[in-house]
Amino acid sequence: MPPAVNKSNAKHSRKSSAVTEYYEFAGRDHWTCTAPGWEAVADHALDWALAFADTKPRGKHAF
């Protein structure tokens, strides 16, 4: 998918209450999860998710 399409999708996500960010991995294509160096992309995604993780229990299913 061209970067322009992903950027456009990211702009539409701004209206959402979800935490979203756009980050472009230069030189990587749609098959990045099977390409050499995929670990760096996975590490970036994990770091991002952990930075925004809400670890506070909520609701009736909270322990």
User: pTM of this prediction?
Assistant: 0.70
Q: What is the DSSP letter of 62?
A: -
Look at residues 24, 20, 19 and name the one whose alpha carbon lies nearest to residue 5: 24
Q: Please give the single-letter amino acid code of residue 52.
A: F
In tens digits, the chain (63 residues) has pLDDT values of 788 998 999 898 888 888 889 999 988 888 888 999 999 999 999 999 999 887 777 666 655
